[in-house]
Structure 1
Amino acid sequence: MFIVLLAVTLGVSLLTAGVVVMFFRRPIRQILERIIGEQVGGAWQRFLTFSLFVVGVSAGVQIWKLEQYLQPQPIGPDGKTRVLTLDGPAVALEVYRTIIQVLQGMAWALLVFFVVALLAFVLVKRGEGRAASPSL
Structure 2
Amino acid sequence: MNTTLLQLAARAIRIMMLVISVFVLLRGHNQPGGGFIGGLLAGGGIVIYVIAFHTHQLLSKTLRAMAPLRVIGLVLALGSGVLGMVLGKSFLHAQWFNLNIPLLGTLHMGTPLLFDIGVYLAVTGVMVMVILLLMEDRKWN
**Structures share a fold, TM > 0.5?**
no
Between structures 1 and 2, the one with greater strand share: 2
- Per the normalisation by structure 1, the TM-score is 0.34
Between structures 1 and 2, the one with greater helix share: 1
